[in-house]
Structure 1
Amino acid sequence: MEKQEKPVHILVVDDEERIRRLLKMYLEREHYVIDEAGDGNEALEKALTNDYDVILLDLMLPGKDGIDVCKEIREQKTTPIIMLTAKGEESNRVQGFEVGTDDYIVKPFSPREVVLRVKALLRRAANAAYVPAETTAKDVLVFPHLTIDNDAHRVTVDGQEVSLTPKEYELLLFLARSPDKVFDREQLLKEVWHYEFFGDLRTVDTHIKRLREKLNKASAQAGKMIVTVWGVGYKFEAVSD
């Protein structure tokens, strides 16, 4: 008897019922299981009490807005989050990235685009979900104090696993694959976010800051590996001790 795969569980958060219904209809065609929330407080409660594979989170919500909801989720979980924003809210989108959003989609949007973005995030998660027991990990970067096991999508610092959001993980992996190479912010936005992002470059600075803080909490030496090259950008530098 074949083992059945666990269904993908998605939380759709929007105060407009018609948008929730539209997204639910398209996502259910992919056989995803959909939960809904119509305000920020309900969204936060559901996000913290359930384990979702992806959260679609509207920016403007009654109760708590999307920024606050995302911020509070990030204090406890690394669930991938896609922010839904209206045109003209660019500064809010930047805020969303700063508090840990993994992607954003501008309204009015194509439901097909939403499905494609969700699938992209799920593909990244699938890399961590399936690692054959018989297979020795081949895609592993080992540095003093820091190991990145890309087969298992796992980062360990001095033997302690560090929990990163998808974007934090991708940023670290990208930098670590090219030690000592300096990347400017535009390059990092293009390579790590995988599409042109026309917005505030503070997005990169904020992710770097969050990444450093998490590494530093486990090891001061690991935190020093993410180096700021003033006036240029950032690089990964392996430190000995």
Structure 2
Amino acid sequence: MTTIVITGASRGIGRELASQYAAQGARVIGTCRTQDAADALKAELGSDAVTTPILDVSDGASVSAFASALGDTPIDVLINNAGVLGDQFSFGNMDYDAWTNAFAINTLGPMRVTEALAGNLVEGAKVITISSQMGSLLRDTQGSYPYRSTKAAVNKVVQLMAHDLKPRSITCITMHPGWVQTDMGGPSASITPEESASGIRNVIDGLTLAQTGSFIQWNGETHPW
């Protein structure tokens, strides 16, 4: 049975990915930050379909406890989905503590989790980190300093990670999930969580080691850095 680990599975894209993979018959380990969120996810998907451990990706002790609880469970696909948009501070009106927290979750979080679970990743495993087109350096945009910078940084982190894990035939990519109708994307976004998750799964299914270190969109197209 294929084992899928999804961080931040309590809502949005993560929740939909957990639902779709569970419907496929995969073993889904969907992490949540709170017990209430974990209970709600398990009630929706069924206790036999998904395991819902508590995980705060910004907390080293929490990540270590999660890895210890998994033991030697083999992992086929790791989806680093947990992330925050945060307040959209602008120049001259910056909350540096909030920015630091965004880095802890959006940039360091995927690295912490992947390092902690590296021993569980089977040969040929796939590690997908949900990023955003807002982190592309080619986009001439304004504002959203914390979110844009943390996503740009995690893109580089994954590039480096890809080199380190390639000898084990582990493919690592960053993924732009589209502009999705979630709490983060808002109701005016262009695609639904169902469309985004389905596209992401199709990309994951077709991933090869030749693509490791790439930045890919939910529809399979390569995204410019």
TM-score for the superposition, normalised by structure 1: 0.42
Higher strand residue share: 1
TM-score for the superposition, normalised by structure 2: 0.44
Higher relative contact order (CA 8 A, sep 6+): 2
